[in-house]
A and B are shown apart, each in its own frame.
Chain A
Amino acid sequence: MENAKTFIYDGSFNGFLTTIFVAFEEKAQVADIQKNSVNQNGLFSESETIFTHIEKAKRVWNGIQKKNYTAMKQIYFAYLSETQGIEILLYRYIRKLFATQEAIQSDYSDSLVLKISQLTKSVGREKHRMEAFVRFQLTQDDIYFANIEPDFDVLPLISKHFRSRYADQQWLIYDVKRQYGIFYNLERVEIVALDLKEIYANSIHKKDPFLTDEYNFQDLWNNYFKSTNIKSRINTKLHTQQVPKRYWKYLSEKREAV
C-alpha cells in the first residue's frame, strides 16, 4: 500500500482547491494538508508541495457547486474560519459529498457534517458582526476608513454588503490582524495592503488624518448612545454578551470604557 502523504500548499483558497484536485487525481492517501507557512513534516509520511493552479481549482469549485450549492457555501465559510486542521476536515467532507447522491450537508447526526455546519455558523456570525461593528471615520482624503480585527477572515464575505450599501462614497476596511484591507474606489472593490504606522482605532486622542467634523460626529454618536440607555434596566452581562469586549476598541461609543 502506498504511504499516506502530506500536501503542502500556499495558504490561498485556490491553493487548497488545487490540492483537493491533485489528491483526487492521484487517489492519494491524505495524511494532512498544511499551509507552507506552518508546515511540519510528519515522521512517517512523505510530503508533496502543491502549486496553485487556477484551472484545477475552478474545476473542483464548479464540481462542488453543481453537486450541492449549500455545501459549497459551507465549505467556503468553514475554510475562512482558519481553524487548525480545517483543510483535512474539508477534504473528508468533500469526499463524503462526492461519494453519495444524498444531501449530506443536512445530516446533523454526522459529527463531521455537524462540525462543518457549526463552523459555518460561527463564521456567519462574525460576518454579521462586522457588518454591524465597522465604524467608519472620514479622513482628510475623503475616504471612510475603518479598522477591524475579526476572529475569522471575513473581509471577502462582507465586501458585497458594503459595496452595495455605500456605493457613493469611497471606503476602506482594514483587517489589522491579517494585514490586508478592501478598498472601494467608487468603481470596484480592491484588495490592498497598507503600511500603517499606527492602528486608527477610535481613540480619545484626535489624530491628524481625520477631519474635525469627524470627531464632532463621533461625539454626537457617543452622546446618543448614552442618552438612549435606560439606567433602571441596566444589564451588564447581556451587554457584554452582545458586544464582546474584544471589539470595544474599534467602537467609538465604547472608547471611554476601554
Chain B
Amino acid sequence: MSFDRTKEKLNILADAAKYDVSCSSSGSKRVNTNKGLGDSTGMGICHSYTEDGRCVSLLKILLTNHCIFDCAYCVTRKSNDIKRAAFKIQEVVDLTINFYRRNYIEGLFLSSGIFKSADYTMERLIAVAKKLRTEEGFNGYIHLKSIPGASDELMREAGLYADRLSVNIEVPTISGLKLLAPDKKHEDFIKPMLKVKNEIIQFKEEKKIIKSTPKYAPAGQSTQMIIGATGESDKDIMYSASHYYKQYNMKRVYYSGYVPVAQDVRLPAIGTQVPMLRENRLYQTDWLLRFYGFGVQELLNTSHPNLDIDVDPKLGWALRNLEQFPIDINTAEKQILARVPGIGLQSVHKIINARRFRKLNWEHLKNIGIALNRAKYFIVCDSSKWERIDREPQTIKGMILKNSTGKFRKEYSTQLNLFT
C-alpha cells in the first residue's frame, strides 16, 4: 500500500462524499461466529464527531468522483473543474479493514460518481462489499449507494452483502429535478428503490419458512433530500418524505441543508448561509411523524405550508390546537402524553411507570426531566397550582420564548430584527 498516494485519494474522495448525510450504523445484526472480524449488535456507534458536529460512524467515501452527469447541485458534476481520483477495489478493502481493526469506524459507506454506466458502477460497488464479506469475513456495517438506473439483478446482489442501500432523491419535486439534473430521470431513482423494497418483503416472507435464507439489506434503505436549493416549501418536503416512508418502507429520510458548491443561476449563490435551523425543524417533524404518532397533515397543510422558525413543530402544533389541552398527566393515555410540548418519549415512559405508584406533582415532573417551561401551559397534575388555560396562543408563545433559550435563537432574532 502506497500511503502517500492513498492519502491523496482519500482526501479527494472523502471530501466529495461528505455531503451525503446518512451516518447510521444501526439496525443490522451480524453475529461474529467462528472468531472472525466484526460484530454488529444492531446498535450503532458514533466513533467521533467532526467540527461541524456531525457523527463519524462509517468510512464514507466515493469509489471515484469521475461522473458522466452534470447535476447542478453536485460538487462532482462533470463540468466542475476539480481534481479527480479513483480507488482500486483492494484499496477500499484495506482501508476499511485497517480502520475497523483500530476501532475508528463501524464499517463502510461507499458511494460513487457514475462512470461509463449505471451498471458498471454498481458492479464495482458490489465487488468491494463482496470482497469484504467473503474474503475478509467482515461482519461490520456496509452501506452501499444504489446507483440510479442500476439493473434489478445487481440490486438483488447488492443487498446480499450490504446492510443498507440508499438512493438519494436529492430534489424533492419532479419539476426541481428537471431544472437541476436534466440528465437524470425520476424513474431511474425509483427503479432500484422499488426493487430493494420488494426484495426486503420477499426476504421477510421466505425467512418465515426457511430460517437460513441469506440476509437481504437488514438495515433497510434510506434516501436524502436537499433543502433550500429549489425554493420548495416545508410541506413539499415532508409530504414527499412521508410518501417515501409509506411507499418504499424507508428506514430513514435525511434532510440536507444545501451547501452552495457552484456558481449557477439556478441555485443559491456561493456563500449563502446553510439553512441549518430549517433542517433542524424538518428533522423534528420527521421524528414527530415516525415516533410520536403525528400525521403529516396535522403539522403541515395548505393553510400552514411552512414550519415555525421560532418554536419547535410540536409546540407550534399545540399552540394552533389549544382546545385539546390541558391534559391530566395522571390519567392521559400514552399517545396523548407524547403530544405535549416539552415531553419526550423517555419522559412519557417515566411518567407512565411512576404514576402507578402515586399521583405526580410538579416536583416529580421536574425531577423526571420534563421541560416544564414549555409543558406547564398544557398540563395539569396533582397540584392546585397550574397555569391559566384561557390565554391566547400568542401570549403563551411569548411567555415561553421569554423564559427559555434556544440553540438557534441568536440566528433568527437577528433575522427578525432586520425586518422590523
Chain A residues close to B by CB (< 8 Å):
102, 106-111, 114, 128, 131-138, 144, 146, 161, 164-169, 186, 216-217, 219-221, 223-239, 241-243, 251, 253
Point out the residue from B11, B56, B102 that lies within 8 Å of A135, measured CB to CB.
B102
Which A residue sits closest to B104, measured CB to CB? A221
- With a cutoff of 8 Å between Cβ atoms, the chain B residues found around residue A221 in the complex are 99, 102, 104
- With a cutoff of 8 Å between Cβ atoms, the chain A residues found around residue B36 in the complex are 167-168
Which B residue sits closest to A214, measured CB to CB? B102
Point out the residue from A108, A133, A253 that lies within 8 Å of B353, measured CB to CB.
A108
Interface pair B259/A230, CB less than 8 Å apart: yes
Interface pair A224/B59, CB less than 8 Å apart: yes
Interface pair A251/B48, CB less than 8 Å apart: yes
- With a cutoff of 8 Å between Cβ atoms, the chain B residues found around residue A227 in the complex are 10-11, 14-15, 18
- With a cutoff of 8 Å between Cβ atoms, the chain B residues found around residue A230 in the complex are 18-19, 50, 52, 54, 259
Given contacts A109-B364, A144-B102, A227-B18, contact A242 B49 (CB under 8 A): yes
B37 at the A/B interface (Cβ < 8 Å)? yes
Interface pair B354/A108, CB less than 8 Å apart: yes
Interface pair B102/A220, CB less than 8 Å apart: no
Q: Report A235 CB to chain B, min CB distance, Å.
A: 4
- Besides the contacts A221-B99, A230-B54, what 13 more A-B pairs have beta carbons closer than 8 Å? A109-B358, A136-B103, A165-B32, A166-B101, A167-B35, A168-B37, A219-B7, A223-B7, A225-B50, A229-B52, A232-B274, A233-B53, A233-B54
Point out the residue from A111, A134, A229 that lies within 8 Å of B367, measured CB to CB.
A111
- With a cutoff of 8 Å between Cβ atoms, the chain A residues found around residue B99 in the complex are 217, 220-221, 224
- With a cutoff of 8 Å between Cβ atoms, the chain B residues found around residue A167 in the complex are 32, 35-37, 39
Which B residue sits closest to A102, measured CB to CB? B357
Report how far A229 CA is from B31 CA in the complex, Å. Answer: 32
Interface pair B360/A239, CB less than 8 Å apart: no
- With a cutoff of 8 Å between Cβ atoms, the chain A residues found around residue B262 in the complex are none
B55 at the A/B interface (Cβ < 8 Å)? yes
- With a cutoff of 8 Å between Cβ atoms, the chain B residues found around residue A111 in the complex are 367
B47 at the A/B interface (Cβ < 8 Å)? yes
Q: Report B24 CB to chain A, min CB distance, Å.
A: 14
Point out the residue from A128, A216, A225 that lies within 8 Å of B48, measured CB to CB.
A225
Report how far A221 CA is from B3 CA in the complex, Å. Answer: 11
Report how far A250 CA is from B107 CA in the complex, Å. Answer: 21
Which A residue sits closest to B273, measured CB to CB? A232
- With a cutoff of 8 Å between Cβ atoms, the chain A residues found around residue B103 in the complex are 134-136, 146, 166
Report how far A136 CA is from B31 CA in the complex, Å. Answer: 22
Which B residue sits closest to A137, measured CB to CB? B102
The 8 A CB mask of B349-378 against A (1 = contact, 0 = none) is: 011011111101000100110000000000
The A-contacting residues of B in range 52-74, CB under 8 angstroms, are: 52-56, 59-60
Report how far A65 CA is from B103 CA in the complex, Å. Answer: 33
Given contacts A108-B354, A227-B10, contact A217 B52 (CB under 8 A): no
Q: Report A103 CB to chain B, min CB distance, Å.
A: 8
- With a cutoff of 8 Å between Cβ atoms, the chain A residues found around residue B19 in the complex are 230
Looking at chain B, what size class is its interface with the partner chain?
35 or more
- With a cutoff of 8 Å between Cβ atoms, the chain A residues found around residue B357 in the complex are 102, 107, 109-110
Report how far A247 CA is from B239 CA in the complex, Å. Answer: 42
Chosen A-B contacts, 13 in total, with CB atoms closer than 8 Å, are A107-B353, A108-B353, A108-B354, A131-B45, A133-B47, A161-B41, A166-B103, A167-B35, A169-B37, A217-B99, A224-B99, A228-B60, A233-B274
B276 at the A/B interface (Cβ < 8 Å)? yes
Which A residue sits closest to B52, measured CB to CB? A233
Interface pair A239/B52, CB less than 8 Å apart: yes
Interface pair A229/B50, CB less than 8 Å apart: yes
Given contacts A225-B48, A242-B46, contact A138 B102 (CB under 8 A): yes
Q: Report A146 CB to chain B, min CB distance, Å.
A: 7
B6 at the A/B interface (Cβ < 8 Å)? yes
Interface pair B3/A216, CB less than 8 Å apart: yes
Report how far A242 CA is from B10 CA in the complex, Å. Answer: 25
The 8 A CB mask of B199-241 against A (1 = contact, 0 = none) is: 0000000000000000000000000000000000000000000
- With a cutoff of 8 Å between Cβ atoms, the chain B residues found around residue A138 in the complex are 101-102
- With a cutoff of 8 Å between Cβ atoms, the chain B residues found around residue A109 in the complex are 354-355, 357-358, 360, 364, 367-368
B198 at the A/B interface (Cβ < 8 Å)? no
Interface pair B102/A128, CB less than 8 Å apart: no
- With a cutoff of 8 Å between Cβ atoms, the chain B residues found around residue A217 in the complex are 98-99, 102
Report how far A166 CA is from B103 CA in the complex, Å. Answer: 9
Q: Report A247 CB to chain B, min CB distance, Å.
A: 10
Interface pair B274/A107, CB less than 8 Å apart: no
Which B residue sits closest to A236, measured CB to CB? B51
Report how far A135 CA is from B48 CA in the complex, Å. Answer: 11
Report how far A168 CA is from B32 CA in the complex, Å. Answer: 10
- With a cutoff of 8 Å between Cβ atoms, the chain B residues found around residue A134 in the complex are 103
Q: Report A12 CB to chain B, min CB distance, Å.
A: 29
Given contacts A106-B354, A107-B354, A128-B45, contact A239 B50 (CB under 8 A): yes
Point out the residue from A136, A234, A237, A251 that lies within 8 Å of B101, measured CB to CB.
A136
Which A residue sits closest to B359, measured CB to CB? A109
Report how far A235 CA is from B54 CA in the complex, Å. Answer: 9
The 8 A CB mask of B299-321 against A (1 = contact, 0 = none) is: 00000000000000000000000
- With a cutoff of 8 Å between Cβ atoms, the chain B residues found around residue A136 in the complex are 101-103
